């Protein structure tokens, strides 16, 4: 009976867990030489795979659902932390504007190019060593944004069989929810410098409350 209760407690923790991996701030942001008050959120990109006993496969429908939930959650958390948040790059806006769609795609592609070294040597953000360049300024058409918000997340969901094989009863229970590794990055809207990176783990589709504490360090000074 005690063993069963212990398993249930552990499973509960696995299903609800949100764990911050790391936060990194640009020296000018940390030293308050610059401030972030107004941000523009780029479309989030989520990749999900289902891991089964026989291998892995994509999860297109679930990716769409997670993408929408994640963008909403991050925007809500940033707003709650005291920032003014805009989300102008909606599917409809991009669909009807070839030039804007191309500009957003270029910035997203540039970010993906620097992402591997950025994640490997994230501590170098504290030395101001990463930038996307001033190409990002085209997405700050009003000139009022301090930073662009870039969101990347990778989710993995195990089948019941895979969960049982890798973790027994605990793995079986945990297989009910996908696990996500998420990076949220703030980039200077004028020169492209990487100002802030937050990396964290979540289990289950992201909800607003999971992100509230992730952005306190970039709350604009009052």
How far is 55 from 104, CA to CA, in rounded Å? 34
- Asked whether the predicted pLDDT for residue 19 surpasses 60, the reply is no
pLDDT in tens, 54-72: 555 555 566 677 777 788 8
Which residues, including other chains, have CB under 8 Å from residue 157's CB and lie 6 or more apart? 48, 49, 50, 51, 59, 62, 175, 177, 178, 179
pLDDT in tens, 33-47: 998 999 999 999 888
Whole-number pLDDT of residue 16: 39
Q: What is the DSSP letter of 122?
A: G
Whole-number pLDDT of residue 97: 93
Helix (H, G, I), strand (E, B) or coil at 109: helix
Q: 26 with 194: CB under 8 angstroms?
A: yes
Which residue in this structure is represented by tokens 């703030």? 186
- What percentage of the chain reaches a pLDDT higher than 90? 39
How far is 203 from 163, CA to CA, in rounded Å? 14
Using alpha carbons, list the distances in angstroms from residue 148 to 25, 73, 90, 139, 143. Answer: 15, 16, 15, 8, 12
Domains and CATH numbers, the chain: 2-218 (3.40.50)
pLDDT in tens, 132-178: 999 999 999 888 999 999 999 887 765 555 544 554 444 434 445 67
Backbone Cα Rg of the chain: 19
């Amino acid at each position: 009976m005690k063993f069963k209760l212990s398993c249930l407690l552990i499973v509960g923790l696995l299903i609800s867990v949100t764990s911050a991996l790391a936060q990194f701030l640009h020296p000018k942001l940390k030293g308050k030489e610059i401030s972030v008050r107004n941000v523009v959120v780029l479309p989030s990109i989520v990749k999900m795979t289902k891991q089964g006993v026989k291998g892995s496969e994509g999860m297109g429908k679930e990716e769409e659902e997670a993408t929408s939930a994640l963008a909403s959650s991050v925007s809500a958390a940033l707003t709650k932390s005291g920032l003014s948040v805009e989300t102008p790059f909606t599917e409809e806006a991009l669909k009807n504007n070839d030039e804007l769609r191309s500009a957003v795609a270029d910035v997203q592609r540039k970010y993906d190019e620097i992402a591997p070294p950025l994640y490997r040597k994230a501590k170098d953000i504290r030395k101001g060593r990463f930038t996307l360049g001033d190409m990002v300024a085209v997405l700050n058409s009003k000139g009022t944004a301090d930073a662009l918000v870039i969101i990347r997340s990778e989710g993995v969901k195990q089948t019941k069989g895979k969960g049982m094989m890798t973790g027994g009863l605990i793995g079986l229970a945990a297989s009910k929810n996908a696990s996500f590794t998420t990076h949220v990055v703030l980039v200077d809207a004028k020169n492209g410098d990487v100002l802030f990176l937050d990396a964290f783990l979540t289990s289950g589709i992201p909800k607003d409350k999971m992100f509230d504490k992730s952005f306190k360090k970039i709350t604009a000074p009052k």
